[in-house]
Copies of this chain bind each other. A is one copy, B any other.
Amino acid sequence: MARIEYPEAVGKLVDELRRLPGVGPRSAERIAIWLLQSARAEPLVLAAALEKAKAEVVACPTCGFFATADRCAICSDPSRDSVLCVVEQATDVLPLERSGAFKGRYHCLGGKLSPLDNVTPDDLRIGPLLRRIEHEHVTEVILAPGSDVEGEATANYLAGLLKGKCHVTRIAQGLPAGGGLEHADALTLARALEGRRGL
């Protein structure tokens, strides 16, 4: 009696779905079966969306955010002010945009310094950042890598590089909105105290 498995095409689909972040072997199988069996599934629409996004979406050559044209929607928006916010990843842009608290432009580094993962300054878009600061009218650079060790190291490194070239600030650390003191860890509290402001 032959060992029965799903047809090869299903197995290949499961293999591809397993590679997605957060999708394990069992959910890959569940998703594949749903795609092939459910009346509401539209695998061909998903396939077309994948192909279209892959074909159309590129990194903005100026800032690194997602773009479908020469420049992204932010870089080509003339109403943006002359503050530049440096973030780790293109995915950090939209959370800042959605906050509504920033009206400048962005620069995505493409990562953060991490000697353990062999990420050195050469692997980040630091050269293009220096050229932008030289050629664009930038009044302030806000360093907004994350507040973990690598993010701090990246921000410190950039602060050293940019010293004297323009006004450099670091995004604040402190209590998250809506959080009581009892939920904050010691390091967050220490930084919230350090960063206290006069009222």
Contact = CB atoms under 8 A, between A and B. Distances in A.
Interface string A129-148: 00000000000000000000
A94 B26 CA distance: 13
A184 interface: no
Contacts of A13: 49-50, 52-53
Copy total for this chain = 2
Chief secondary structure at chain A's binding surface: helix
B68 A7 contact: yes
Contacts of A51: 43-44, 47
Contact of A52 (B5, B12, B53, B79): B12
Interface residues of A, number: 61
Given A9-B57, A49-B12, A49-B16, A33 B91 contact: yes
